[in-house]
């Protein structure tokens, strides 16, 4: 009964807002409507005369990159008290993985496999952003990302639609809270709609070529889930799909988003992407670009002036109706009413906790803790025992970099809040061992002085060498794609020279993407992947290295052996000639003078095989887990039913640990070819040493649905496999029938 009443209340509130929107639209001039569709950059500590006049005249509805709450209040005062209708501004900002308190990059957040924690992190970010006068963030980025060369993979949740969906929805809920009008809530934005992560060669802004079945089955599901979760806004991608840039793509915004999904929220271009339609070669000038974007249904233009300059003329010529403009402006006004800006347009920073308060830092700490992925640990090199070590070497350009550990897209991040690995290790070790520090390289690239020789001397006198390596934050993110994703600069040489000393090496890698580690893996006794871990990365790394807590992170992306394997993802198709371990032939095993033959005659690279270096879902612990007794509660499943899958997980090691159990399925025969595996569930299981726990999954029949050959969405009967295991390459398998 309470749920019914709640739905009735929500519908009543929605109807009331719609009436307010219509009443306001009826009083607006066309120029004022067009002004609401205009968003401009407000960077700076003062209000410019031009911007003040634009707001006063009703020619500006939104600002981006607001510097602080004082400037925001000054702008808002002009809008509310000096413009004809007093329509408040909505202030936007890229709040991607924290505001002042920085959490791990989204790719690192995905490595936690903990949606509840991601939701908490987004809530912290929302509160800090709202204190600064921000009402709207351009996150989450839920582009499926299969190519580590792409700089914006750092902003993503990885390669898998299911994991990305879980994390994306969690972030939306964290930003928006229970009610957008609450003082600590900000509007979220699902971006980039759609397919941006498929940019060819991982080069940012590049062309994307995605067949419709792949678009619908892989790239669109996270966006559909975000829409269903009530995300307030959608942003268009920079890229094109099938020759139509997203900012002019009627199929995406009209047929799919508005038509099929019945989405009623607001849409926005990316930065100046409407005018860039002419650069794509789709339109001839800004007027034509504005026309195409209006037809597609982009409600607001970010940082351009094509709408501002050309909508009125397009209406006069009969190319666009004012009714269409009313619908689009109505979406913008509705968001402002939902945010409560008409009632509470101003921000009082004193209403919020201080930046970097203990609760915020605690969430950043837990996120960093759970994001770390142990990739290698030969001979139990980790955890370190500070009581058994006399001398510890801390080496590398990423050991003591408060700013670089924050990662990409942290315009407002405060490096003063950062605790670096070096300082955290110093605090943890205390007087138990002597610490010897050598930066070795000025930065991760070839960018200045180098002192590898001193690093070698430092390593020679230590019991263990902790090498803090990776890539600086500027090397990933928007427009920061890389063709070579090895460790940059002279870092590989540094590893080799430290290795020659005979001192065991523990490499801690901070990066915004998966790096190709093939060249250095054999030289390291242990490798801990830390992504860019945020403000509290140092304590998280220190505690994991010294066994205060075990590593629990799991990879949200496959790690390639070589860049030539990219794009690389676990849920690929089988092909007509699938590779197996028996068919792969290494390039060095081909006899000299061999006659031409289709070696192995399967899908693999002669110089890299067919497997990743580390598979999706992979991550070691300080203990070992065994899976046994996989059971299904029925051999057959019909539409509308749920299959219960259980498995026993035993901790066979000597330490307590946490396992991320992962459920995968395969549809063996379909009207279109289906992936060899698809993630359909996961759960975190705490298992004490020697203990066995049973994990249980519920697999619903609708989770087996896909867009079929006839363009409809649904299931198809047939044979399915189900696996439960620690990653996409391992697990116990059973089969069932969908009938």
**Closest listed residue to residue 349, CA positions, set 680, 658, 127:** 127
What's the CA angle centered on 73, arms 70 and 79, to 5 degrees? 150
Burial string for 394-419 (b: 16+ CB within 10 Å, else e) reads bbbbbbbbbbbbbbbbbebbbeebbb
Q: Are 722 and 733 in contact (CB under 8 A)?
A: yes
| Catalytic entry in 270, 369, 400, 543 | 270
Alpha-carbon gap, residue 244 to 251, rounded angstroms = 9
Alpha-carbon gap, residue 36 to 339, rounded angstroms = 16
Three-state SS string over 546-582 comes to CCCCCCCCCCCCCECCCHHHCCCCCCCECCCCCCCCC
Alpha-carbon gap, residue 133 to 646, rounded angstroms = 48
- Sign of dihedral through CA atoms 221, 223, 224, 230? positive
Q: Are 713 and 705 in contact (CB under 8 A)?
A: yes
Structural tokens at position 503? 């001192």
Burial string for 134-149 (b: 16+ CB within 10 Å, else e) reads bbbbbbbbbbbbbbbb
Q: Are 93 and 65 in contact (CB under 8 A)?
A: yes
Cβ neighbours for 670, distance < 8 A, ≥ 6 positions apart: 706, 708, 716, 718
Q: Are 142 and 196 in contact (CB under 8 A)?
A: no
Cβ neighbours for 11, distance < 8 A, ≥ 6 positions apart: none
The secondary structure of residue 397, as a DSSP letter, is T
Alpha-carbon gap, residue 730 to 155, rounded angstroms = 28
Cβ neighbours for 622, distance < 8 A, ≥ 6 positions apart: 374, 377, 382, 383, 547, 550, 551, 653, 655, 657
Q: Is 9 a known active-site residue?
A: no
Name the residues annotated as catalytic: 270
């Amino acid at each position: 009964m309470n749920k019914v009443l709640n739905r009735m209340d929500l519908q009543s509130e929605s109807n009331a807002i719609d009436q307010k929107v219509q009443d306001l639209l009826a009083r607006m001039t066309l120029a004022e409507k067009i002004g609401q569709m205009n968003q401009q950059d407000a960077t700076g500590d003062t209000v410019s005369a031009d911007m003040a006049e634009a707001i006063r005249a009703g020619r500006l509805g939104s600002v981006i990159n607001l510097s602080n709450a004082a400037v925001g209040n000054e702008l808002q005062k002009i809008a509310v008290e000096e413009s004809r209708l007093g329509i408040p501004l909505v202030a936007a900002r890229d709040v991607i993985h924290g505001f002042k308190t920085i959490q791990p990059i989204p790719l690192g957040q995905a490595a936690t496999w903990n949606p509840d924690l991601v939701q908490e992190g987004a809530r912290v970010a929302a509160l800090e952003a709202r204190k600064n006068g921000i009402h709207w963030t351009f996150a989450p980025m839920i582009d499926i990302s299969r190519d580590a060369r792409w700089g914006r993979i750092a902003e993503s949740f990885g390669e898998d639609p299911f994991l990305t969906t879980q994390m994306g929805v969690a972030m939306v809920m964290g930003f928006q809270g229970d009610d957008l009008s609450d003082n600590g809530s900000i509007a979220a934005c699902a971006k980039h709609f759609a397919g941006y992560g498929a940019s060819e060669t991982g080069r940012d802004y590049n062309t994307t070529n995605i067949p419709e079945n792949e678009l619908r089955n892989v790239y669109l599901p996270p966006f559909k889930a975000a829409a269903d979760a009530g995300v307030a806004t959608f942003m268009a991608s920079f890229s094109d799909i099938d020759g139509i840039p997203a900012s002019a793509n009627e199929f995406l915004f009209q047929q799919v988003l508005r038509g099929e999904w019945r989405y009623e929220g607001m849409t926005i271009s990316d930065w100046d992407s409407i005018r860039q339609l002419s650069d794509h070669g789709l339109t001839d000038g800004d007027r034509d670009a504005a026309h195409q974007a209006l037809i597609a249904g982009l409600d607001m233009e970010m940082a351009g002036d094509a709408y501002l300059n050309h909508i009125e003329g397009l209406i006069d010529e009969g190319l666009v109706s004012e009714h269409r403009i009313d619908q689009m402006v109505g979406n913008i006004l509705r968001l402002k009413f939902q945010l409560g800006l008409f009632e509470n347009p101003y921000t009082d920073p004193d209403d919020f906790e201080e930046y970097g308060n203990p609760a915020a830092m605690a969430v950043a700490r837990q996120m960093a803790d759970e994001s770390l992925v142990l990739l290698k640990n030969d001979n139990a090199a980790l955890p370190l025992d500070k009581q058994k070590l006399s001398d510890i070497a801390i080496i590398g350009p990423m050991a003591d970099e408060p700013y670089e550990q924050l990662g990409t897209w942290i315009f407002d991040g405060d490096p003063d809040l950062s605790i670096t690995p070096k300082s955290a290790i110093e605090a943890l070790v205390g007087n138990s061992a002597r610490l010897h520090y050598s930066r070795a390289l000025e930065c991760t690239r070839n960018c200045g002085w180098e002192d590898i020789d001193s690093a070698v001397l430092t390593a020679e006198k230590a019991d263990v060498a902790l090498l803090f390596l990776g890539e600086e934050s500027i090397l990933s993110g928007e427009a920061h794609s890389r063709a070579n994703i090895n460790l940059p600069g002279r870092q590989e040489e540094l590893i080799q020279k430290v290795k020659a000393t005979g001192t065991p090496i523990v490499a801690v890698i901070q990066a915004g993407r998966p790096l190709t580690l093939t060249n250095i893996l054999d030289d390291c006794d242990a490798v801990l992947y830390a992504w860019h871990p945020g403000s509290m990365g140092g304590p998280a790394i220190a505690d994991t290295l010294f066994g205060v807590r075990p590593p629990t992170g799991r990879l949200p992306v496959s790690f390639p052996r070589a860049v030539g394997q990219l794009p690389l993802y676990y849920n690929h198709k089988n092909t007509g000639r699938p590779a197996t371990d028996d068919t792969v032939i290494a390039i060095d095993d081909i006899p000299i003078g061999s006659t031409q033959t289709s070696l192995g005659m399967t899908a693999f690279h002669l110089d890299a095989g067919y497997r990743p270096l580390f598979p999706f879902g992979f991550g070691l612990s300080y203990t070992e887990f065994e899976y046994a007794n996989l059971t299904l509660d029925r051999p057959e499943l019909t539409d509308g039913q749920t299959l219960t899958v259980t498995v026993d997980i035993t901790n066979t090691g000597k330490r307590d640990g946490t396992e991320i159990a992962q459920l995968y399925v395969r549809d063996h025969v379909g009207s279109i070819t289906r992936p060899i595996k698809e993630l359909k569930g996961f759960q975190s299981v705490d298992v004490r040493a020697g203990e066995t726990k049973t994990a249980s999954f519920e697999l619903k029949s609708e989770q087996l649905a896909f867009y079929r050959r006839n363009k409809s969405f649904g299931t198809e009967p047939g044979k399915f496999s189900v696996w439960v295991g620690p990653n996409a390459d391992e697990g116990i398998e059973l089969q069932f029938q969908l009938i």
